[in-house]
Amino acid sequence: MHVGLLVVDCWVPLSRSLKDKRRVITSAVERLKRRFNIAACEVEYQNQWQRARLAIVTVNTEPRMLESALGHILEFLERNRELEVIGSERETLL
């Protein structure tokens, strides 16, 4: 079994408050969970109103499938009009 970790730094340009940011981030995380069957949460910058760091984890028996899934997840976030992906890191754990 392999575990894939994707850490994504996001910028929420239209956010004017923490409430705005949390609405955008919560919506993005819920859509990710529904579409990709992953675990995800905001892990850093909770008190900054235009920035967020998301940690996304998925499990698969095939490393190739894991990398493919992480790629699709990142593309999905990059298509989100309410946030900008400003950085990402991938890691596969055995």
Contact yes or no for 69/61 (Cβ under 8 A): no
**Percent of the chain whose predicted confidence (pLDDT) is above 70:** 100
Nearest CA to 92 among 1, 4, 11?
4
Helix (H, G, I), strand (E, B) or coil at 3: strand
The pLDDT assigned to 13 comes to 95
Domains of the chain: 2-93 (3.30.70.1120)
10 DSSP 8-state letter:
E
Q: How many angstroms separate the CA atoms of 12 and 35, rounded?
A: 21
Helix (H, G, I), strand (E, B) or coil at 81: coil
pLDDT tier at 94, thresholds 50, 70, 90: confident
* Reported pTM: 0.92
Q: How many angstroms separate the CA atoms of 6 and 68, rounded?
A: 12
What mean pLDDT, rounded, does the chain reach? 95
Q: Which residue is it, tokens 């998925």?
A: 58
